[in-house]
Every structure is written in C-alpha cells, then in structure tokens.
Structure 1
Amino acid sequence: MRSSFAPLRIVLISALPFGFVSLACSSDGSAVPQTIPVPAPPADPGFTDSAPVPAVPAYVDRYKSNVAANATEDTNATLGLLANFDALWMRGATWDGGHPTETGRATLEANIHYVVNATQGRTSNQADDAYFDDRRNQSYSIIDGLGPLASRYYSGAGATTTITAIPADATTVRYDDLGTGAGDAASALGKVVGLVNLLRGNYSSTTPTKNYFLYPRPFRQSADVVVVPTLVPAESSTPATDSGFTSGHTNAAYLAAFAMAYAIPERFQELLTRASELGHHRIVAGMHSPLDVIGGRMAATAIAASVLADSDNAAAKRAAYEQVHAYFEEGQPATSLYEQAHAGPPSMDRFASERDNRAAYRERMTYGFAPPNAAAMTPSVPSVPKAAEVLLETRFPYLDAEQRRVVLRTTALESGLPVLDDPEGWGRLDVVAAADGYGQFAGNVVVTMDSSRGGFHAVDRWNHDISGPGKLTKRGTGTLILTGQNGYAGGTQLEGGTLEGDSNTAFGAGAVYVGGGTLIDHAPGTLTMAGDYTQLAAGTLTVDLGTGGAGRVAVLGRATFVGGTLHVRFRSEYKPAVGDTLEVLSCSRCAGKFDTIAVDGFAVTPQYSEGGVKLHIERAPSQ
C-alpha cells in the first residue's frame, strides 16, 4: 500500500535564507507551496576550552636534573615532583631511622596493610606472574601488552628473555635476565627499541628517590608481608641502598610502555594497562607498597613526556613510529594496523576490554587511599603539566596540542589523594582514560579528520560518557564514533565525514545539525536526540535497524529535513519482509522530506507525518 505522501522535490529559495519551500497536500489532494523555516545550527559557545600551563617551574625544563649528584628537592626535578611524600613520611638519617608524620600515620599503615593482604591472599598463578615480572627485563615484559602484534614484534625486534620458566631451585638461587629486553637496536624494529632505551636513559633512574626518601620496603616494615618464595634470593642484603619509594621496576615498565605506545598508539591503552599490572605485581610480590608503585608511575609519566617533548629527540620518535607502521603494514594493504592490533577473539587478548583496562588502571592510580586531610580539602580542577600533551601526540594526531591537553584535563583524577597532588598535575593524569577521548565539552570542540592520512586520522572512537555545556563540531573526511552515554548540552554539528553514534544518547542533550557528511545511528536501542534535528541537502542519515527497536531515531524536539539522503541498513539478526512497515524516525513535529531514500535490499514507499517517518516495503529491487 502506498502512502498518500508522494516523494517531493525540495527547492531552496534564495530570498528566504532561513527557509525552504516544499509541497504539501491540501484537503483536496492538490499540491500547495509551503514555507518551512530552516533552523540555524546549534549556537557556538563562543570559545574553545583550554588547559593553561601551571605557573610553576616545569619538570620538562629540568628533567635532566634527575641524577645522583642532585640530592635535594630544589635541585632534582623528580624529588620535587614527589615532595608530597614528605607530608606522610619523616625520613631519617639512616634507612631505618624514619617514621610516619602525624598526618601520614593512617595512610602509611594502610599502605603496608595492603601489602600484607595482597601477599597473604595471592594465588599460585599470581605468585608466578610476580616472579616473571620481577626477574625479566621490564621492557620485555611490556611487549605482552601488544596482544595480537606481540609475536611479530618479538621476531622483528629480536626481543628475548632467558627467564622462560621458574627453575626448581629458584627459592635458593637468584636468576637474572640475560635477554635483549625490548630487542636489538640493529633489528628490523631497531628504531622502536632505540626509543624504549632513550626513555629509559640517563635521567630516568629511581636511585635518587630511593636514596633521598629512605622509605623501607614493606617486608622490612612488617613480618606479616610474605615475599614470593622464589623471589627471596632477589632480596637485597644492603637495605641502606635498597629503599622502597619509589619502585624502579614500575618506573621502568611505564617508560617502556610510553615509548611503545608512542610508536604503536593502536595499543596505547593496553600497553599502559600492562605497565600498571607490572607495578601491581611488585605489591603482590611483597617487594613494594602501593605508594612505591604510585611514585614510580608519577616519575615515569613526567620523564616520558620530557624525553618525548625534547626537540633533540624529535627525529628518534618519528623514526620509531614510521618504522613500526611500515613493518606491520607490509603485506597487509587491506588491513589497518588498528585492525591487526585487535584481531582475533577477546579470549586471546587479556587486555581486549577497554572498560576493564580503564577500571584497573584507575584503581591502581590510587589503591583506594582516602585523602589524609579530607575535612580541610578543597577539590581543585586538574591542571595539565607543560608538554604532557606529547604523550597523546600519536594517539590523537587529528587534535591539536591544546585539544590534547584538554583531553588530559577532562579525564584526570580528583584532587586530595596522598602524594598525587604535585604542583603541575603529573600524579593526577589518567593516560588510559585519556586514550578514550574527551571526558567533557566545556566550549566548542571542533574535530577535523582526514581519512586519506589513514590510522586514527581516518577512524577513531571516543568512549567516555561526555558531559558539559559545550558543543561538538565534526569536519573533514574521517569517521568519529561516539560510544558513551553522553550528556553534553551544546549540540552536535556535522559538516563533513562521518559521525557515528553507538549508544542511545551518543549525541548528547542538545540539537543535532547535519549540514554535510553522514550521521550514522548504530545505537543498541532507540537513538534519542534530546533537542531538534536538522538535515540539509548535503547530509545523509544512516540508520542500522535491528530487532527490538535498535537503530530507530527518536527526536524529542522538531525534525526538519531539507532534502538529503536517508539510508536504511539492516543488522545481521534483523530480517524484514515485503509488506512490513519500518518505523525509522519519530519526532514531536516533523517538517520537510528527504531527497533520496535508499533501503538495502528493498524498494519502499515513504510515509511522512508530523509525528515521524515510516517506510513501507513494497518489494525487493529485483522484483
């Protein structure tokens, strides 16, 4: 059955810049001209968000001061970075001469109690994992975070370890790794190996912090800490030169992970999560406390950014990125490196879950510590250290430096937690969360992507539940996918390329305006647009219909169609038939029509009404 609403041609009238003329049916069925106002795009907030550099001495400007000769917080940038540990711990003249401050007593007791519980409650598998992460070179261990790419990396880099199993006599004999760590600098991936070694270079040691803070390892503070038996031979016999704060293994693991993540951003989140896991294994082993591990992460984050931002290292980091992409993409013309990096079933990649990665990383940032002065604490907006944005340089190549800084700020940790509130903000940066894009839009966020450049320029996903009063404007030819339950209120404007919504509230709480490009509805249920929807002649709305109403569009405001295309696709589980009526879009009031309607596999007749758009399936195209 055909609808009484026949397809109509829409004519733009130059004399009416904010309206268009369409044909409507009068009561006698004749065509009557009707002018319908075209809504303006969502209002520009008038500013773009920013993350100003804190007005304090920058770590990146003095990172080379982290050497043994500089033994004070004023002369050594890393000691200054971690100076908040002084609020918890009063160091003594000898390794066993310090004590908690009055403020820090409860925190430090909780710190050791965490290790007691972790070491007394660990499983045999956890003990084995802790052994391998202790005895292997940290750069080798981090390669595991490459998932499906790991085996080819081992081969191409010549990365080896001699710790391939736990020897039967490991409880009495210490075994050291004599492998190549990240690999051989002369290998096919030698530039990547070189970048790892560069970040783990002359200014990256935790020896100055250990010698300065003199905070004992947990097994020297409590007899209830049970060191993994196979690691007892690895315990130092000279505690005066073997303090706990900060963890050297953790620092080294993060440095290797940041280097590999810069070169292979397709596994950015997974590599950094692997580093956090290695740090956690230091606690499970009984070798370090949570605060030791937190300090190691903080130092590595600042050091990594400093080395990567140093202009002397620009050629090295660029060469590593280009080499690894050429290596993995050779012979794979139809498969992007991102697809290779996430190939295969999740059961074969233990870092496959983005949500699990974020949760694990965030938990290991804080280990559940409470603010030591909660009553007196005033929450503060996160600050972003100078040059920290370089950590996301290859992960978000289509964003500018200031936008990357805002991503870091909108995904950072709350204030008030022990040690983490350094003056610049290194301790609060959650780089794994940042790898999932903006957490908030405050102003106008303009994203321009160029699909011809490949990689993340061509396709990317933002996975946060994005809040804030700001607006998103998408330009260029690439594809941006929003997966969060978003509530940003300033509206969404699509001018080019593709913007895909993979959640029921992907496009926030404002108006949606498609001036050009393709807007894709791939929501698991009904995609709700809380404001108005406008589509111009250059725009396309693609809906992926599925069972249970999946892929339908519900516009709570007014929907205005100034031509353009409606494209309907069907998910694999949904099998419509001739004679069905597809409910595609509902609205409080609809006006106008599409120029073109394409339905995969079928010919349809549109049914327009003030309440929405339905499509009646007449036949398959071949009939």
Structure 2
Amino acid sequence: MHHPNPLSRLPLAIAAGTLLALTACGGSDRIDNADTVLAIPAAPADQGAPDTAPVPSAPAFVDTAATNQRGDARYATLATNAGVRVLGGMLDIWKPLTEIVDAGVTAPAVDGFPAVVGSTWTGLPNDGTNGGTIVNAAVHNANIDYVVKATANRTAGQTLQAYLDDRRNKGYSVTEGMGPLTTAWRTATRQTTTITDMPLDATTVKYDDGGNNNGVGGDANADFGKVVDLINSMGNNGSTEPAKRFYKYARPYRWSSAVKVVPQLEPAKSTTPSTDGGFTSGHAAEATRNAVGMAYVLPERYQELVGRGLELGESRILAGMHSPLDVISGRVQAQAVAAANLIAAGATVRSAAVTQAHATLMKLTGTTPATFAAYAVSGTAANDRFADYTTSRADYIRRMTYNLPQTGATNLPAVVPKGAEVLLETRLPYLTDAQRRVVLKTTAISSGYPVLDDPEGWGRLNLFAAAEGYAVFTGNVIVNMDASNGGFNAADRWRNDIAGSGKLVKQGTGALQLGGQNSWTGGAQVEAGTLEALSARAFGNGDVHVAGGATVVSNAPAALVVGGNYTQLAGATLELRLGASQQGRVDVGGTATIAGGTLRIKFLDGYKPAVGDTLTVIAATSLKGKFETIAVDGFTATPTYTATSLQLRLSK
C-alpha cells in the first residue's frame, strides 16, 4: 500500500523547516530554533535588464582603418584618414597649418583655420605660427614642462631603459611584460636583438637593432608561427606618419632647450625636423599594438603586458624624445589599430594563435592547464617589475593622462567604440560581446582630458581596469562560467571596486573571485559554481542567496561583511578560510538563514587553533536554521547556535 509523504502536502517554508528539524545534525550546546518553521527568504529582487553600451554614431575606426596609410602621410586629413581622425582632440590644444608641402596644393581648412599657401613647416617652433597655433596654452605648457622635469630628474636606471626602448625593436622590449614567461616566449618566437646594453660610444654612434623584432612566423616556426603572425599583423594600417605630418607638433626638445635628451640618443635625433613631428609617437604606438596583441594570446599576463606598452611610452618621455601628448595619442591610436587587426584576422586565426601559444609555453615551462595561470604570475619584485599589482595599477592610470589638466566636461558618459569588445575576448571569455562592451564602459576613465574625448571612445578605455571585470552593476548581471572550457572560464578574479544598483547572478561551474571594496546594492544570487570573497566588502551591500549545489567562500583578510541577508539552501556550501584574528568569518548585517547544506572550515597557512578553542564563525542580526554538516580541518567541532551567532568548539 502506498503511503504518501506527509511533507509533500506542506507549504514550502513549512516543509523546509520540518526537514531541517528532522535531518539537521552536528550536535549543539544550544538550539533555539531547530523545531521552528524556517521561512526561506526569496532571492534578491530582479533588477531588470542589464546595462548596454551601444555603438556610437561616429565613423568607426575598425571599418576605416585601411585609410591610415603611410604613403598618404602628406595629404591626410581628419576627413580622409582614420589614424588622424581618432586624434582630433588635439585641435583643441594646437591648430596645425593645413598647407601641404607640394607647391600649389593645399588641404582643406581645419575648423575654420585656413590653409596657408606658400609656407612650409620647418619643424622648429618659433613665434607660434610655424607649423600651427597654440590654442590651449595651459595644456601645451604643462605638456612640455612635464618633459623638462622628467628629463631633469631621471635616474640611471630610467636612462638605460629609455635607451633600450629607443634603439631596441619594440616587440622584443614589450616581452619584458611576460615576467616568468619571458624566456619561454622568446625561445618559442625565436626573437633576437643586438641591443643588450648602452655602449660607451653611443653618444657619437647610432646603434640600430639587427634582431628580428617579434620573431619567426609562418611555417618556418611550426610551434609558434601562428602566434608570431598574429602579433606581426597588429602593425597593419598602423602608421603614425599621417598624424605626424597633419598635426605638425614638434618634439619637446625643439619646444624647449631645457629638455635634456639622453646623451646616448643624440645620434638618433632626426636632422630633418620638417619630417619629424612629435605627435604621435611611433614607438609608443607600436609598443601598445604589440602589447595588446600579446595580451590577447596570453591573457594570463594581460595587465602586465598592456602596462609594459604604456611603460615604453613613458620611456620616450624620459628620453626627451616625446611629450605626454605624443605618447598618450600613440596609445589611443594603437588600441584602435589593434582592435581592427584582431577583427580582420578572424575568429579562426585568433583562436589558433591562442591555442598554439598555450600549448607551446606549457611545454617549455613544464606546466599544465591547471598550473599555467599561477606560474604566469609567480614572479616577485626581484624578477618581475610588474609583480606588484597596486603599483602597476597606479602606474597605468598615471600613464593614461600624465595628470595633464582636464579642460573639458568631466562627467560625460563613456562610449565604447565599435569592435572594442574584441580586446577582452580572451581575458573575459565567459562574458558575451555585449557584456564585454559594458565592462569597457564601466571601467573607462573620466572625461575632460586632452585628446582622450574622441567621439568613438578609444581614448578613455582603461584596459588594465577592464581586465578586472565590471566596475558598475546595472540590472541583472549574469556571469555564466563553464569550467570545462578551462582557463578563465574555470576560475577568474575581479579586483575592481564595483558600484551600482544591479544584481550579480553567478551561474555555471566555474569559480569567480571578487576582491574589490564593493558597494553594489542589488545583491548576489549564486545559482551554481563558486563565488569567493577576497575582501571584506567583496559582496557589496545587498543580500547573498546561495542555491543548492553552489558554494560561497570567504577568503577575506578580515571578517566578510554581508550587507543584507545571507540565505543558504539545502545542498549549498559555505566555506570559511579562517586566520588567527578570525579573518574570514562572516558578519551578516541582516538575517542569516541556514536551510541546511555544509559549513566547511579551513585554516590559513601559519594559523592553527588549539583543541578547546571556541571560534565565532558567523555573527548576524538574526540567525535562523542550521547546517546539515559541519566539517573543520583537523578537528571535530561542536556547534552552538544562538539567536545571533554560530560558535564552534574544537576538539579532536
């Protein structure tokens, strides 16, 4: 005879509470609520549609990149050349004469400044009319003064780096951003250089690099040729000559005799100033193009590589060869060029390069898919100058603007260029293109800086921050990570400070770590996989709701603060990694509702409590329910549940 389960006729909340009372175990000195009905709170409220980043209406660089050709340099204008157009913000600082050197041929006027017939640009600033007119003296003066101060105070180490970054091939220089992978990368690419130091006679002899820049590509390098080919393609349509010839902005040492060029670079100075403009820096642009390409195929070193690209740009300032505006513009143009070339390569070529890079580098380093990511960032300050995250982040932000004065509106909404999402394709592979565009939007720097407010949005893109995921949650932000795809699909870490009113919905089998001081209010709904806190405010100010089968980990350096309610359903796991001061415990601002599941306690290296110790692992305004299973590494735990806390007494 069939006997129906009497619990099946009960409301969900009553059934859950009854099941809790019947099946919860682990012992307790005090259980106030074991036989009460446990009402399970709903998941955080739906916050609506996610944010979007529509493609701006401005002409797209990725559609017109082919117009930026070196052979067009003497005739390029904003209307005809994408590489000139993307830097059009320079016209708010400096108006170039638009006369073309060929006698009797003039270009159209620029923003009302007429073409000047019969004059030529000598490349030497004098009364402000030779080559153009200063429009914003404050920015121009700050730009040149920055170089004066930088070259007056550069160190011996900066002098050497400036020399190497000037004379060495840029592709070889950028690989210093590989850290522990540098030797393996250079071995795989077969890169060579003949510039390894600063010769004693470099003050009178110009040394050129006889190496092969990015290495050997194609079929001649069966193990890495696809990678080299993709990096080499980043230079397509990347000439800075059209911008140099159009903007006619002199190098800093021609603006001011107080700029001290590195003595060993004096032989490298051009003897024809009229063909040697400073804006934009070719070295800085090439370094960023290479850095972006390398970061695409090796996203485990994404921030370090794009950081190295900007560092090389700063070397140009320290060398006295370029100004901040010169190298800033190089970065802007290069990001657009790199995106256009990645798109042009096609998904198949891009994927093949990424696969080949990882297979070969793992073989050379003796790593596996499970250990490669950790090895890639295993360097220390002694052997990887990008190892300190805080310093690298600060350097990147500083090098984006060099703190030049903001002259425009500082609160303009960010826009994201068409195609820019490809720059994050390998770094955030579990997000959609639309989501990657929103990441770029929410991490962009503020508006108002010289040259950076281009209509498409290339200037404000902060690739370092974008590699850390969102900075603002709007609506429902669904992150679905499939661990079976490996790499960042299996495990990733975001360190941005996330604001906004949206809700994070964690799906899929992968693990996502949050390390920012977050303040978003819509809550976190952990439906599957793992969500791990690396900071005290990692989960923002909303509720945290953990479904059966999902895991939440507290690995915070202090007590993890849940701003709202914490709810754990049957089958879910809460893992706490505790330290000597009970860092890693959970403090819940609202109600902690435990409808079963597992509590797992691990101890951080260097900390082991004693037998007989009592640990407070959860504190809340109100605590209801209990765990089905409690496991403590190395101990047996006796729990004590109170109305506001859970304590564990340890024994063997």
TM-score by length of structure 2 reads 0.90
Q: Look up the match of 1:559.
A: 592
1:415 deviates by: 0.7
- 2:561 counterpart SS class: strand
Shift of the 242–259 alpha-carbon distance from structure 1 to 2, 3 Å rule, reads: same
CA gap 1:31/1:405 in 2 versus in 1, 3 angstroms: closer
Instruction: Output the CA distance in 2 between the equivalents of 1:14 and 1:414.
Output: 57
What's the counterpart of residue 87 of structure 1?
Answer: 92
Counterparts of 1:510 and 1:61 in 2: how far apart (Å)?
42
Q: State whether residues 529 and 553 of structure 1, in contact with CA within 8 Å, keep that contact through their aligned partners in structure 2.
A: yes
Which residue pairs with 1:370 in the alignment?
405
Q: What CA distance in whole angstroms lies between the structure 2 residues aligned with 1:169 and 1:588?
A: 73
Aligned with residue 545 of structure 2, among 472, 491, 513: 513
Match of 2:459 among 422, 427, 432: 427
Q: Could you report, residue by residue, the CA deviation over 1:54-75 in whole angstroms, capped at 9, with x for unpaired residues?
A: 1221111111110132611111
Aligned residue type for 1:271: L
Pair 1:385-2:398 in alignment: no
Unaligned runs of 5+ in 1: 1-10
Given that 2:33 and 2:625 are in contact with CA atoms closer than 8 Å, whether structure 1 keeps it comes out as no
Residue type of the alignment partner of 2:441: R
Distance in 1, Cα, partners of 2:335 & 2:646: 52
Match in the other structure for 1:77: 82
Q: SS state of the match for residue 372, structure 1? A: coil
SS state at 2:567 partner: strand
Bigger drift between 571-580 and 407-416 goes to: 571-580
Q: Determine which of 6, 11, 14 is the counterpart of 1:16.
A: 11
For 1:81, the aligned partner's letter is: V
Deviation of residue 14 (structure 1)? Answer: 5.5
| Equivalent position SS for 1:49 | coil
Q: In structure 2, do the counterparts of structure 1 residues 317 and 149 end up closer, same or farther at CA, with 3 Å as the change threshold?
A: same
Q: 1:294 to 1:378 in 2, by over 3 A?
A: closer
Post-superposition Cα deviations, 1:284-311, rounded to whole Å, max 9, x if no partner, equal: 000000000011000000001111122x
User: CA contact under 8 A between 2:367 and 2:375: conserved in structure 1?
Assistant: no
- 1:77 Cα deviation (Å)? 0.8
- Deviation readout 1:483-536 (Å, 9 max, x if unpaired): 111111000111111111011111100000001311001111111111001000
| Cα separation, 2, equivalents of 1:543 and 1:85 | 53
Distance, in Å, in 2 between the alignment partners of 1:459 and 1:489 is 24
Q: Deviations over 1:318-343 (max 9, x none)?
A: 22111101112234337432112112
* 1:266 CA displacement: 0.5
Deviation at 1:386, TM superposition (A): 0.6
Q: What RMSD over aligned residues (CA atoms) do the two structures have, in Å?
A: 1.9
Matched, 1:191 2:223: no
Give the structure 1 partner of residue 55 of structure 2.
53
Change (3 A) 1:30 1:414: closer
- TM-superposed CA distance for 1:100, in Å, is 3.8
Amino acid in structure 2 at the alignment position of 1:17: L
- Give per-residue Cα distances to partners, 1:563-604, cap 9 Å, x unaligned: 111111111222212222111101111111111111111112
SS in 1 for 2:335: helix
Of residues 231, 235, 241, the one that matches 1:200 is 235
Residues 37, 293 of structure 1: CA spacing in aligned structure 2 closer, same or farther, 3 A cutoff?
Answer: same
User: What's the offset of the Cα at 1:13?
Assistant: 5.6
1:98-109 to 2 correspondence within 5 Å? 98-102=131-135, 104-109=136-141
Structure 2 equivalent of residue 254 of structure 1: 288
Provide the C-alpha distance between the structure 1 equivalents of 2:242 and 2:270, rounded to a whole number of angstroms. 17
Q: Distance in 2 between matches of 1:14 and 1:507?
A: 36
Q: Tell me what 2:64 maps to.
A: 62
Q: Distance in 2 between matches of 1:155 and 1:464?
A: 34
What is the SS of the residue equivalent to 2:640? strand
Deviation at 1:248, TM superposition (A): 0.1
Residue type of the partner of 1:299? Q
- Give the Cα–Cα distance (whole angstroms) in 1 for the partners of residues 13 and 381 of structure 2: 50
What is the alpha-carbon distance in structure 1 between the residues aligned to residue 91 and residue 474 of structure 2?
Answer: 36
Query: Aligned residue for 1:593?
Result: 626
Asked whether the equivalents of residues 414 and 460 of structure 2 are also in contact (C-alpha less than 8 Å), the reply is: yes
Aligned to 2:351: 318
Hey, what's the Cα distance between the residues in 1 that align with 2:34 and 2:374? 53
Taking every aligned residue pair, what percent have the same amino acid on both sides?
A: 49
Alpha-carbon distance in structure 2 between the residues aligned to 1:313 and 1:162: 34
Count of residue pairs the alignment pairs up = 601
Larger relative contact order (C-alpha < 8 A, sep ≥ 6)?
Answer: 2
Go from structure 1 to structure 2 and tell me whether the alpha carbon gap of 1:378 and 1:121 turns closer, same or farther (over 3 Å shift): closer
Say whether 1:457 aligns with 2:489: yes
Within 5 A, what are the aligned runs for 1:80-479? 80-92=85-97, 93-94=120-121, 95-96=123-124, 97-102=130-135, 104-185=136-217, 186-187=220-221, 188-201=223-236, 203-310=237-344, 312-330=345-363, 331-333=366-368, 335-373=370-408, 377=409, 379-479=411-511
> For the residues of structure 2 that align with 1:12 and 1:588, how far apart are their CA atoms?
30
Q: Structure 2: which 5+ runs fail to align?
A: 1-5, 98-119, 125-129
CA positional deviation for 1:401: 0.5
Residues 582, 615 of structure 2: 8 Å contact kept: no
Residue 217 of structure 1 and its aligned partner are, at CA, apart by 0.6
Does the residue aligned with 2:284 lie in a helix, a strand or coil?
helix
